[in-house]
Amino acid sequence: MLTAKLSIAQNKIVVFQTDFGLKDGAVSEMKGVAMGVSPDLKLFDLTHEIPAYNIWEAAYRLEQSVRYWPAGTVIVSVVDPGVGTSRKSVVLKTKSGHFIVTPDNGTLTLVAQSLGIDEIREIDENVNRRQDSKKSFTFHGRDVYGYTAARLAAGVITYEQVGPLVPKQVVSIPFQQAVLDGSTVKGDIPVLDVQYGNVWTNIPDTLFNRLNPHVGDIVHVSIYHKHQLVYKGEMPYCQTFGTVAEGKPLAYINSLLQLSFALNMGDFAKEYHVSSGNDWSVEASLK
């Protein structure tokens, strides 16, 4: 019976996401604690380059990545500017069978919507906290989250032993949902394709396709920050960057099947002073 309960969280995979960077030993400490629970664990990194304290970007990177890991994977996300305060420490089990160990501070905003909430349990730190760590108040990533994730992934505890059930609701960061408003699609800019400066939206191809676009159609684009217009322009709808001349703008569907904007061989975000976050929004329509 115990084996059956453990099986859904016993693929022994733990994936780590933080805003710690790799300049010091923080990530290594988390992984060391995990391996101390079980040397059979398989440890991977989602990213440790979330900008400091940027809960929104942590939420997006989970949304971007979690679905590609096998069901049963345990993901630890620690972007925790409120460490040591009254924010809850939880493990959310998604309807897809993934387990996300994190502070409930907005990090779960997007995956709770896209993957659904099966259950949420608050971590019982009387049981699931690294031994002799109670004098430390500022590194729950190591002492609580990494430790609990390792115990769950290794099968030392069942999901039920994480702690008590709490209501199926999470702290959510407000943002512009992707919607069709007449002949205009609206959404937000959750993140930039940071290496290249492309602007990614949360508008899925299925929604954009309701405008009946064809390759070569001209797309009207307006970008806002806190409801103030930052960019307004036109660009062709293309399948590949090389369709337009170097330095020219284009609209395309990115690898996550969402509407995006770019300059061929250029940096759209830098050129037009566009950034990302829940306070950036976009509108697009066809000419």
266 and 208, same domain (yes or no): yes
Q: What is the tens place of the pLDDT at every residue in 150-201?
A: 999 999 999 999 999 999 999 999 999 999 999 999 999 999 998 899 999 9
CA distance 147 to 133: 11
Tokens of 271: 């050129």
17 and 102, same domain (yes or no): yes
Counted domains in the chain:
2
Is 106 a domain residue? yes
For the CA atoms of 85, 123, 52, 63, what is the dihedral angle to 10 degrees? -140
- Strand ranges (E), the chain: 13-18, 42-47, 74-78, 89-94, 99-103, 117-122, 165-166, 179-181, 184-189, 191-193, 198-204, 218-225, 228-236, 249-253, 258-263, 277-286
pLDDT higher than threshold 60 for residue 41 = yes
Is 173 a domain residue? no
Is 172 a domain residue? no
In contact, 208 and 253? CB cutoff 8 Å? yes
194 and 261, same domain (yes or no): yes
State mean pLDDT over 23-36.
93
CA distance 43 to 30: 10
Q: What CATH number should be reported for the domain holding residue 220? A: 2.40.30.90
Domain range enclosing 212: 179-286
158 and 247, same domain (yes or no): no
Which one is predicted more confidently, 252 or 3? 252
Kindly report the average pLDDT of the chain as a whole number: 92
Given 166, 191, 217, which residue is the final one in a domain?
Answer: 166
CA distance 286 to 219: 5
| Sign of the dihedral defined by the CA atoms of residues 148, 149, 155, 161, in that order | positive
Helices 147-154/26-37 angle, 10° precision:
30
Is 171 a domain residue? no
CA distance 143 to 188: 35
Is 230 a domain residue? yes
Q: What is the tens place of the pLDDT at every residue in 110-163?
A: 999 999 999 999 999 888 887 775 666 557 777 899 999 999 999 999 999 999
10 and 148, same domain (yes or no): yes
Q: Which of 177, 211, 195, 184 is nearest to 255 (CA)?
A: 195
Report in angstroms the alpha-carbon separations of 259 from 184, 187, 238: 13, 10, 11
131 and 255, same domain (yes or no): no
113 and 157, same domain (yes or no): yes
- pTM here is 0.85
pLDDT attached to residue 9: 61
Range with lowest mean pLDDT among 132-146, 234-248, 268-282:
132-146
Given 105, 132, 166, which residue is the final one in a domain?
Answer: 166
Residue type at 152 in one-letter notation = L
Is 174 a domain residue? no
146 and 188, same domain (yes or no): no
121 and 85, same domain (yes or no): yes
Given 103, 137, 166, which residue is the final one in a domain?
Answer: 166
84 and 22, same domain (yes or no): yes
Is 86 a domain residue? yes
136 and 254, same domain (yes or no): no
Is 267 a domain residue? yes
Q: What CATH number should be reported for the domain holding residue 31? A: 3.40.50.10790
122 and 199, same domain (yes or no): no
Tokens of 146: 């990494």
